[in-house]
């Protein structure tokens, strides 16, 4: 599926500006961005639920819509599978008939086989004869996924399909969905505002802001080689320090950071992820005169430490993440080591 040179304005809002995006066969692409950045609008263009003011939509080699001609394929002829945040199942049909709904060309027996096979993959085999109202929200969402996948669509379009579920259930359904899509080799565009979800699900991520794609790449590129401060901040809490490039680096309270891509004298912002700060207890007096701990909290698999970092006569409040249980006490004197791979310098 390809979106080519797509632009679209809604009255005062630019929902899409010169968007070029492709989803390759068998690929799972996550469109990631904050609320209102234009993710759903792009998905609606792909599905044919909305017509872009400029640009083209291709699915496979077929042109589905082209703003410069009358070419327009309606949604039901695009062979796309659609799943939204809230599963909308047919209440008067059994689970099996819901899943088989998009397969009118198959015989009743083939339809049942296909529906049962998909339901089994999602752990829903015992509910095949049930009606939707007896299912939990999570089970209904699985049925919606199975129904969308049953006709073997050329692409699955998923719009925040897990966001209505509680955290533990969401993790399980994400996992099941990922395996289901990969087992079936289905190209998928997944819209989400949740960076962890994108990292968990995606082969490739496109980060969106204000109707534009800020960066696209594989998850490691996006997380470890961000090209824009927005991308760094979108993935979570960061320590931010201002400085000036000198001798190809910027001095920060936790040590120098390479800035050889910027000219000396450039005002710079340094974004340092909490996990880049390795905290080590140091012997010495517990007082305010050197870098010390302000507070420690256990997050579960990691510990969150509030630091008072000294640099000359200045003090900086910074955050560190340490793996496992590491809970130094207030005023504990510390050394801080910087992992340069999670510190990023941009022009200020
Ligand atoms: N039919 C419409 N008429 C007017 N404005 C619209 C319409 N549809 C979307 N918009 C606006 O376009 C912008 C992009 O909306 P869109 O729903 O695509 O964003 P989103 O990233 O999917 O956000 P969310 O995650 O909150 O759904 C928003 O400012 C929205 O208010």
Q: Residue 310 has what pLDDT?
A: 92
Q: Residue 198 has what pLDDT?
A: 98
The answer to pTM > 0.90 is yes
Q: Does residue 208 carry a pLDDT above 80?
A: yes
Output the residue whose Cα is nearest ligand 1's atom 17: 40
pLDDT band at 285 (very low <50, low <70, confident <90, very high): confident
Angle among Cα 316, 318, 320 to the nearest 5 degrees reads: 150
Tell me the C-alpha to C-alpha distance, in Å, between residue 38 and each of 155, 198, 307, 314.
Answer: 20, 16, 37, 42
Tokens, residue 59: 């699915």
pLDDT in tens, 77-97: 999 999 998 888 999 999 999
Q: Residue 155 has what pLDDT?
A: 97
Strand positions, DSSP E, 11-115 = 13-22, 28-32, 54-59, 62-66, 80-83
> Is the CATH number 3.40.50.300 carried by domain 2-233?
yes
- 263 CB within 6 A, ligand 1: no
Q: In sequence order, what are the residues at sequence separation of 6 or more whose Cβ sits closer than 8 angstroms to the Cβ of residue 50?
A: 8, 41, 44
Q: Does residue 14 carry a pLDDT above 90?
A: yes
Q: Residue 88 has what pLDDT?
A: 87
Q: Residue 75 has what pLDDT?
A: 95
pLDDT band at 221 (very low <50, low <70, confident <90, very high): very high
What residue segments make up the domains of the chain, in order of their start?
Answer: 2-233, 237-347
The alpha carbon of 43 and the centre of ligand 1 are apart by a number of angstroms equal to 11
Q: Does residue 286 carry a pLDDT above 90?
A: no
The alpha carbon of 12 and the centre of ligand 1 are apart by a number of angstroms equal to 12
CA 136 to chain CA centroid, nearest Å: 25
Helix, strand, coil in percent for the chain, rounding step 5: 25, 35, 35
- 33 CB within 6 A, ligand 1: yes
pLDDT in tens, 301-315: 999 999 999 988 899
Angle among Cα 153, 155, 160 to the nearest 5 degrees reads: 115
Greatest CA span in the chain, whole angstroms?
80
Q: Residue 152 has what pLDDT?
A: 94
Rg (CA), the chain: 25
Residue with tokens 């004298």: 265
Q: Which atom of ligand 1 is nearest to the CA of 193?
A: 25
For residue 31, give the nearest of 8, 3, 10 by alpha carbon.
Answer: 3
Instruction: Give the DSSP per-residue string, 330-342.
Output: TT-BEEEEE-GGG
- What phi, psi does 16 have (nearest 5°)? -150, 135
- Mean pLDDT lowest among 65-69, 102-106, 150-154, 288-292: 288-292
Output the residue whose Cα is nearest ligand 1's atom 1: 10
Q: Does residue 261 carry a pLDDT above 90?
A: yes
The alpha carbon of 20 and the centre of ligand 1 are apart by a number of angstroms equal to 18
Q: In sequence order, what are the residues at sequence separation of 6 or more whose Cβ sits closer than 8 angstroms to the Cβ of residue 12?
A: none
Q: Does residue 289 carry a pLDDT above 90?
A: no
pLDDT band at 287 (very low <50, low <70, confident <90, very high): confident
Output the residue whose Cα is nearest ligand 1's atom 30: 36
CA–CA separation, 49 vs 165, rounded Å? 25
Q: Does residue 167 carry a pLDDT above 90?
A: no
Q: Residue 168 has what pLDDT?
A: 86
pLDDT in tens, 42-88: 999 999 999 999 999 999 989 999 999 999 999 999 999 999 988 88
Q: Does residue 288 carry a pLDDT above 80?
A: no
Alpha-helix residue ranges (DSSP H) falling in 184-250? 195-201, 219-224, 229-234
The alpha carbon of 222 and the centre of ligand 1 are apart by a number of angstroms equal to 24
Output the residue whose Cα is nearest ligand 1's atom 10: 10
Determine the average pLDDT of the residues in 198-215: 98
What's the whole-number average pLDDT of the chain? Answer: 95
């Amino acid at each position: 599926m390809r979106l080519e040179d797509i632009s679209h304005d809604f009255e005062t809002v630019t929902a899409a500006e010169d968007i070029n995006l492709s989803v390759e066969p068998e690929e799972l692409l996550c469109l990631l961005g904050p609320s209102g950045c234009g993710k759903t609008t792009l998905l609606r263009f792909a599905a044919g639920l909305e017509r872009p003011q400029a640009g083209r939509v291709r699915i496979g080699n077929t042109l589905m819509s082209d703003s410069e001609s009358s070419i327009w394929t309606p949604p039901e002829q695009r062979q796309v599978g659609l799943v939204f945040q809230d599963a909308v199942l047919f209440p008067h049909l059994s689970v099996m008939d819901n899943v088989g709904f998009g397969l009118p060309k198959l015989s009743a027996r083939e339809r049942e086989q296909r529906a049962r096979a998909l339901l089994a993959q999602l752990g829903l085999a015992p509910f095949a004869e049930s009606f939707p109202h007896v299912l939990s929200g999570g089970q209904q969402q699985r049925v919606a996924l199975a129904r969308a996948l049953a006709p073997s669509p050329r692409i699955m379009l998923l719009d925040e399909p897990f966001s209505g579920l509680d955290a533990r259930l969401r993790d399980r359904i994400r996992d099941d969905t990922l395996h289901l899509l990969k087992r079936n080799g289905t190209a998928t565009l997944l819209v989400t505002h949740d960076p962890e979800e994108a990292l968990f699900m995606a082969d490739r991520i496109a980060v969106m802001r204000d109707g534009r794609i800020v960066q696209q790449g594989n998850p490691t590129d996006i997380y470890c080689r961000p090209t824009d401060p927005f991308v760094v901040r979108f993935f979570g809490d960061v320590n931010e320090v201002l400085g000036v490039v000198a001798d190809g680096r910027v001095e920060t309270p936790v040590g120098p950071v390479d800035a050889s891509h910027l000219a000396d004298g450039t005002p710079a912002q340094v974004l340092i992820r909490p996990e880049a700060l390795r905290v080590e207890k140091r012997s010495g007096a517990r007082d305010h005169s050197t870098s010390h701990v302000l507070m420690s909290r256990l997050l579960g698999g990691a510990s969150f430490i509030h630091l008072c970092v000294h640099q000359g006569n200045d003090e900086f409040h910074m955050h560190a993440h340490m793996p496992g249980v590491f809970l130094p006490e207030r005023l504990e004197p510390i050394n801080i080591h910087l992992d340069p791979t999670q510190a990023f310098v941009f022009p200020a």
